[in-house]
Structure 1
Amino acid sequence: MSEHLTAVAETTKLARVLGITDPTELDFLVDLPPAAIRAYRERVTDRLFDRDTKRLKGIAAASKIVPVALSAKMAERAFGPVLCAAVASAVEPQRALDIAKNLTPTFLAECAVQLDPRRTADIIAAVPPTMVTDVARELLSRGDHITMGRFVHVVPEPALRAAAPVMSDPDLLRIGFLLEDKTAIDNVLHIVADRVAGIIRSAYDQNMWAEGIDLLDSIAPHNRAWIGDITAGLGGEVLDALITAVAELDAWATLLPITSAMSEHSLRLFAQRPAVHDQTNLAAIMDAALDGGQWVNLLPLASQLPTEQRAFIATRVADQTDERLRELIDQAHTAGLWSTLIPLAHALEPHARARVAERARELGLDDEAGELELIAAL
């Protein structure tokens, strides 16, 4: 699922480079590896920028002998945003910045659309926060989240903080989806921490769950707990909508790491939602757990489910071979999750419960083994 959403984001950015106004025209590419789409986009960008390298260097050299104010006037009136963006990477960063300070936010925004952040990162990093804010405001007035997302990872934190207030919660969600470097999402979350609830609610209000789920998939492990708790605190309707979207996108492998990091109270709220109890959803959850490497992330949720749903999960577990069951037990043990495995083991049929007890005793967990053996004997 994450690969699919990343591919959608990549085709959206590729459409911009190719001059295609409707990104859905490239939907035939979304089954390709996102890295391949990105590599193609970067090759196209390189081809566009490198085709006139000699001439662009000549223009850049000539700009050194022209006063800054005159260079800015020529850039805006004669060269235009496309040529200026192409020349920018050949101009010394300080010179480029001095010229940029004499340009209007409207023209700077038009240039930003054409810039390649790989070539102009030094310039972007030196742009004053007020200029970043003015350009961000101009881009957002055009609904241009693509350009915003492409530059977030090279914009320093002070500038991001200055620009954040001009971005609405849906803007932030859309920009996060289109980030050029997804590792930047955690820094953005740090900057707008007080707005995370609003960002998640905007996914609900505007049916932007694909973007919201992509956000959950992109955050670092240390951010999962507080974001999961915030999500749970938004109420049953939001949780139900999230669960429905996750089911439609087959994104349980994204959601289970979040639920496993939730506080016990938040996890209990999540586990109480009727949508989680649906057998189709439970089957998909078990597929993600048993086949998708999410077993240890399932256990905290399983321990909070009602008896009937826990029994459904236990039946799937009991169907595993002795070797596979042993692997699952060992994974839970390594993760320190016996406290969540025991309630699930209680729901197992006697023979499977005895197998769990046997492995527990082999691991030196005599108390846990004794409890399971006693229940199995009843």
Structure 2
Amino acid sequence: MSRLANRAEVIKLARFLSVKAGSLSYLHDLPSDAVATLRSAISDVLHDELREPLGLLAAVARWLPAWVSALCARSWFGAPMTARLASELPAWRVANIAKYLDTEFLADVAIDLDPRSAREVLHLLAAKKVMAISHVLLLRRDFVTLGRFVALLPDDVLQQVAVSIEDEGDLLQILFFIEARYRIDHIVRLIPTERMRRAVLLVCDESRRDLWPSLLALLTHAGYGLKCELGDLAAEQGERVLTAIIETVQAEDLWEDVLPVVVCLSPEVQKQVVNLAALQRPEVLQQIIKATSYRQLWSAILCLAEVMNSAGRDNLAEVMEQADDEFLAQAAYAALLRSQWHTLLDIVRRLTPARQQDCHEILAHYLPSLDSETATYLQGLLNEYGIKPRPSAPA
């Protein structure tokens, strides 16, 4: 589960229900998709309750001249009802009516418009009209509504909208609330690289700290290739930027989101990040261990430990000393799956003798289930790293 995606969905639900996001804090343990489904379900229930009057209004609107329907919408229906009525009309009809509505009113309609019924309408509207609506929403700082519709825009209109948004921080906030996260890679590639570089550098601007989670959300939701590109882009900015990102992740408790991102980085950048002093602090490693346990990121932690220097492994071992046996058992299983025994055992040998013996007992459980060649290899590694079984009690 992504904490950042959950945060965005809870904010969108709170906006939909006209309540403060803090009042929905009990939803923070749910997957983001579940919160989004809940919002859609509530919207459908409300729509169903109005289905009969909406059907009658839609039947009338189909026969009225477009300018008369627009007059009724602005003077009688109001923006919320117009938004619901739009889902009952053909897209071409909605687009014709929109020609007679001012952009301020259309921006009000967009707040309640269901994106599921808006794609074709947005493609039929003139680019100039879409740009004007986007400008109104941007002036209102309504990033939630912009995020819900930005992925539905045609590429040429999307590029024009992106160019009109001068502040990279605004771009990040719109992407934070994007409805279709699978489109993030495509949208980002439509934005010039220099603008993305400036967006990454916002993590060093203390005055814009509120934007840092939005930047991390972009890294989290990007595809594998884009994760590597953005990670390399961040690394190019130097240790100061990488340290700022680590400190932000730690302060926001977002290691559950960011650990999978670090694993996707190119080997050189991954090694650079893992061996930063900011990441090897005990309190940071404790949060990483906690996130590893919660999200079952055992393979990820071993991948990072594989490129960690000796001092970092010492610090990691010190934190793992306090971990329970279940954590050690899961780490051992991950090592078995990825054949990362050297990495795991090099850390285990740094534990106290008592904890080494605990680990030996855990690993000994695997030996009977392994083929003879693998079992012999593992036993040889245990001997090589000096990890011995617990002494037998005297008879």
Is the 2:299–2:335 contact (alpha carbons within 8 Å) kept by the matching residues of 1? Answer: no
Aligned to 2:26: 29
**SS of equivalent residue, structure 2 residue 97:** helix
Unaligned stretches of 5+ residues in structure 1:
none
Distance 1:60 1:374 in 2: 78
Aligned to 1:81: 79
Is the 1:232–1:239 contact (alpha carbons within 8 Å) kept by the matching residues of 2? Answer: yes
CA spacing shift, 1:365–1:227, aligned 2, 3 Å: farther
**SS of equivalent residue, structure 2 residue 278:** helix
Aligned partner of 2:278 among 275, 284, 295: 275
Instruction: Kindly provide the amino acid, as one letter, of the partner of residue 281 in structure 2.
Output: D
CA spacing shift, 1:325–1:260, aligned 2, 3 Å: closer
Is the 1:224–1:257 contact (alpha carbons within 8 Å) kept by the matching residues of 2? Answer: no
Is the 1:314–1:344 contact (alpha carbons within 8 Å) kept by the matching residues of 2? Answer: no
Aligned partner of 1:293 among 291, 296, 300: 296
Question: Equivalent residues in 2 for 1:1-378 (5 A)?
Answer: 2-3=2-3, 5-20=4-19, 23-31=20-28, 33=30, 34-167=32-165, 168-192=167-191, 194=193, 195-205=195-205, 206-207=208-209, 208-289=211-292, 292-314=295-317, 326-333=332-339, 342=342, 345-346=345-346, 348-349=348-349, 362-363=373-374
* Structure 1 position 147, deviation (Å): 0.8
**SS of equivalent residue, structure 2 residue 295:** coil
Distance 1:327 1:200 in 2: 36
Instruction: Kindly provide the amino acid, as one letter, of the partner of residue 309 in structure 2.
Output: P
**SS of equivalent residue, structure 1 residue 274:** coil
Distance 2:243 2:217 in 1: 17
Unaligned stretches of 5+ residues in structure 2:
388-395
Is the 2:298–2:331 contact (alpha carbons within 8 Å) kept by the matching residues of 1? Answer: no
Is the 1:94–1:123 contact (alpha carbons within 8 Å) kept by the matching residues of 2? Answer: yes
Report the aligned-residue RMSD: 3.6
Is the 2:345–2:385 contact (alpha carbons within 8 Å) kept by the matching residues of 1? Answer: no
CA spacing shift, 1:289–1:87, aligned 2, 3 Å: closer
CA spacing shift, 1:130–1:254, aligned 2, 3 Å: same
* Structure 1 position 230, deviation (Å): 1.5
**SS of equivalent residue, structure 1 residue 273:** coil
Q: Deviations over 1:313-356 (max 9, x none)?
A: 346678868965652322222xxxx5xx6466445529979979
Distance 1:300 1:192 in 2: 32
Is the 1:317–1:325 contact (alpha carbons within 8 Å) kept by the matching residues of 2? Answer: no
Distance 1:362 1:324 in 2: 23
Is the 1:272–1:305 contact (alpha carbons within 8 Å) kept by the matching residues of 2? Answer: yes
Is the 1:150–1:179 contact (alpha carbons within 8 Å) kept by the matching residues of 2? Answer: yes
Instruction: Kindly provide the amino acid, as one letter, of the partner of residue 98 in structure 1.
Output: N
Task: With the length of structure 1 as denominator, give the TM-score of the two structures.
Answer: 0.81
CA spacing shift, 1:237–1:224, aligned 2, 3 Å: same
Distance 1:361 1:228 in 2: 42
Report the more deviating stretch, 93-102 or 46-55. Answer: 46-55
Distance 2:90 2:293 in 1: 55
Distance 2:385 2:49 in 1: 75
Q: Deviations over 1:13-46 (max 9, x none)?
A: 22322334xx345244344524554344334323
Q: Deviations over 1:225-269 (max 9, x none)?
A: 112112222332322222122223332232222222222332233
Q: How many equivalent pairs are there?
A: 367
CA spacing shift, 1:273–1:59, aligned 2, 3 Å: same
CA spacing shift, 1:53–1:166, aligned 2, 3 Å: same
Is the 1:303–1:343 contact (alpha carbons within 8 Å) kept by the matching residues of 2? Answer: yes
Report the more deviating stretch, 317-326 or 204-213. Answer: 317-326
CA spacing shift, 1:25–1:305, aligned 2, 3 Å: closer
Distance 1:323 1:31 in 2: 29
* Structure 1 position 142, deviation (Å): 0.5
* Structure 1 position 371, deviation (Å): 9.1
Task: With the length of structure 2 as denominator, give the TM-score of the two structures.
Answer: 0.78
* Structure 1 position 211, deviation (Å): 2.3
* Structure 1 position 139, deviation (Å): 0.5
| Percentage of matched positions with identical amino acids | 26
Distance 1:82 1:130 in 2: 23
Q: Deviations over 1:29-69 (max 9, x none)?
A: 34452455434433432344333333323332223333334
